[in-house]
A and B are shown apart, each in its own frame.
Chain A
Amino acid sequence: MLADFVQTVFAALSIGSMYALVAVGVTLVYSATRIINFAQGEFVMLGGMIMVSLYGEGGWPLWAAVPVTLLLTAALAALLGLVAYRPGRQGALISVLIITIGASMAISGSAFHVWDGDVHRFPAFSGDAPIKFLGAALAPQTLWIFGAAVLCIGALFLFLHHSLWGKAMRACAIDRTAAALMGIPVGPTVLASFVLAGLLGSIAGIVITPLTMVDYSGGMLLAIKGFSAAMLGGMGNVAGAVLGSVVFAVLEAFAATYLSSTVKELITFVVIILVLMFLPNGLLGGRQQRGLAQEDTLE
């Protein structure tokens, strides 16, 4: 059935866009700090929840609600960066992991108290009247989601590869000591990578909530999905994170349509376990960024 197929592609499009925003955030923080940030999904949840209050219930116009939402989540992301990242700390990988998992639980727990345990949504930005295409129905919000992902990830890519500060951020990821010797303020630059990642998550939450709805507890699963997608593509690699997200979204969407939605979740975890076992560097792992020397003397 063509209509089913097209419908599934639409589903993959919006899921993939959301995963990509989360996965790129995970990979960005990882490459700057070697920290796997399991709190990344919470920014999606917060983006959605804050918009529920401001835009959905508060009646703020979009142009006011979105910047304030971004500002609040960015501030929280900076706070997380300050707590999780200590330059010069070595051999504390597991404790940092626990910090990000703890932060994830703290954020979702606080969200439960600030809001409640219910599922929320707010109206789609361009209404709910579906666009008919080859017998399938496309929610207009899907275009917002896809557009936001392409725009944000594209902008991030341009920033990282074509601006001095973006290059400085990549330099910090490769070799902090050498970056410091270039005069790059390493600490603030690394913090900026946390903020950018938080913003990507928040944007995902803002555009996806009209379709998927949001409650306080959704962050951790999303973070695991984002981590899996980043891992599949090759951790530390922006293009890899996008590729991994597309693969997962297609697998999940088609499994949901042609098998069942319980199989869908199973597939993600089977794939990620296979990747961790047999392809630990991911699909694009060969091109992972590495410095020439990693001896770290910076305190």
Chain B
Amino acid sequence: MALLELEDVAVSYGNIAALRGVSMAVEDGEIVALIGANGAGKSTLIKAVAGLLRSRQGDVRYAGRTIKGLDAARVARLGLAVVPEARRLFGAMSVAENLELGAFVRGGARRGDLEEVLTLFPRLAERLPQKAATLSGGEQQMLAIGRALMARPRLVLMDEPSIGLAPMMVQAIFAAIARLREQGRTILLVEQNARLAMRLADRAYVLELGRVTLAGQASELAAMDRIQELYLGA
């Protein structure tokens, strides 16, 4: 049984249907890429899994139980961490405090938690006492990922972690995700940068106007003409 399963998930904002019956799965230890154009419904899907929005039909199952209808805090306590769109750091709080709050689900950080995140992102180590709002865009993204990892989650949902970053920073973020992959983490990676995402992912889904239009091995999808044209700019 998959760790995360979406079955016929549909979400609307008023009259606007953002997701129209989406089914997908993420297996334990897998990196799954979710790609799609602006407005395809990627962030909506993340929010529907995280408990910020509710699907009006179908089901969302995590670790064998339904999580549809649970609020976000409950979902988080089940070991599902989110790197949200726009990062949503606690800007007026320090880097250290942001990381500590990441471990809130486990009653606060334990020995070794912080060290692990700082090994992944050494740049954060020098900035621990600094307010999160004063970090550069790339550092903020590192902090957002680090904060999610502090929960020692079983599944991480990342919503466009490389968006708006300079090429150097995009490389750094993807290098970190590659390290997480080596550690055998389970990640659902929403990305605009389809080229890099497909290179890292085991499998990928393509979302168009709220529907999954293609799914399969990332390498196979990346080789398809249609994907090349639409998302890889070939």
Nearest CB in chain A: distance from B14 CB, A:
13
Whether the pair B108, A178 counts as a contact (CB closer than 8 A) is: no
Within 8 A of A (CB), among B24-55: 47, 50-53
B73 and A295: CB pair below 8 A? no
Task: Tell me if A292 and B100 are in contact (CB < 8 A).
Answer: no
* A164→B147 CA distance, assembly (Å): 14
CB pair B93–A186 under 8 Å, yes or no, is no
B52 / chain A contacts, CB cutoff of 8 Å = 177, 180-181, 297-298
Within 8 Å of chain A (Cβ to Cβ): is B87? yes
Minimum C-beta distance from A109 to chain B (A): 37
Contact A291 B104, CB 8 Å, known A184-B73, A298-B52, A298-B72:
no
**Are B93 and A183 neighbours in the complex by a CB distance under 8 Å?**
no
Q: Does A171 contact B (CB under 8 A)?
A: yes
B-contacting residues, A152-175, CB 8 Å: 164, 167-168, 170-171, 174-175
Contact with A along B73-98 (1 / 0, CB 8 A): 10011000110101111111100010
Within the complex, which residue of A170, A180, A292 is in contact with B86, where a contact is CB–CB below 8 Å? A292
A residues within 8 A CB of B107? 164
Determine whether the beta carbon of A181 is less than 8 Å from that of B89. no
Give chain B residues whose Cβ lies under 8 Å from the Cβ of A177.
Answer: 52, 72, 84, 88
Of chain B, the residue at the smallest CB distance from A294 is: B88
* B133, CB-defined interface residue at 8 Å: yes
A86 close to B (CB within 8 Å): no
Q: How many residues of B contact A (CB 8 A)?
A: 34
Within 8 A of B (CB), among A14-56: none
Bound together, the chains give a CA A174 to CA B97 distance in angstroms of 13
Cβ-defined partner of B101 (8 Å) among A182, A185, A186, A299: A182
Complex interface: chain A residues within 8 A of B53 (CB): 297, 299
Cα distance A179–B52 in the bound complex, in angstroms: 12
How far, in whole Å, are A295 and B13 apart by their CA atoms in the complex?
15
In the complex, A167→B92 CA distance in Å? 11
A289 to B93, CA, bound (A): 8
CB of A23, distance to nearest CB on chain B (Å): 20
Q: Which residues in A have their C-beta under 8 angstroms from that of B50?
A: 181
The CA-CA distance from A180 to B50 in the complex, in Å, is 10
Q: How far does the alpha carbon of A244 sit from the alpha carbon of B184 in the complex, in Å? A: 54
Indicate whether A164 sits within 8 Å of B104 (C-beta atoms), given known contacts A178-B84, A182-B76, A298-B52.
yes
Is B220 among interface residues, defined by CB-CB distance under 8 A? no
- Are B73 and A185 closer than 8 Å at their CB atoms? yes
A297 / chain B contacts, CB cutoff of 8 Å: 47, 52-53
Task: Check if A290 sits within 8 Å of B104, measured CB to CB.
Answer: no
Q: Are A292's CB and B132's CB within 8 A?
A: yes
Tell me the residues in window 110-144 of chain B with beta carbons closer than 8 Å to chain A beta carbons: 132-133, 140
Q: Which of A182, A289, A291 contacts B105 (CB 8 A)?
A: A182
Interface string of A182-202 (1 = CB under 8 A from B): 111110000000000000000
Q: Does B146 contact A (CB under 8 A)?
A: no
Partner of A295, one of B86, B89, B101: B86
Docked-complex contact B87 and A183, CB < 8 angstroms: no
Residue A293 CB within 8 A of the other chain = yes
Q: How far is the CA of A293 from the CA of B88 in the complex (A)?
A: 6
Contact A183 B73 (CB under 8 A): yes
List of A residues within 8 angstroms of B81 by Cβ: 181
| A297 closest partner in B (C-beta) | B52
User: Which residues from A are CB-within-8-Å of B210?
Assistant: none
Most buried by A among B72, B91, B107: B72
In contact, A171 and B73 (Cβ under 8 angstroms): no
Binding site for A on B (CB under 8 A): 47, 50-53, 71-73, 76-77, 81-82, 84, 86-93, 97, 100-102, 104-105, 107-108, 132-133, 140, 147, 151
List the 9 closest A-B pairs by CB distance, nearest first: A183-B76, A183-B105, A180-B72, A178-B88, A289-B92, A292-B91, A293-B86, A164-B108, A182-B104
Given contacts A167-B101, A174-B90, A184-B73, 5 further A-B contacts (CB under 8 A): A164-B100, A175-B88, A180-B51, A182-B105, A291-B89
Q: List 21 A-B contacts (CB under 8 A).
A: A164-B108, A167-B93, A170-B90, A170-B92, A174-B93, A175-B88, A177-B84, A181-B81, A181-B82, A182-B101, A182-B151, A183-B77, A183-B104, A183-B105, A183-B151, A186-B73, A290-B92, A290-B133, A292-B88, A292-B89, A297-B53
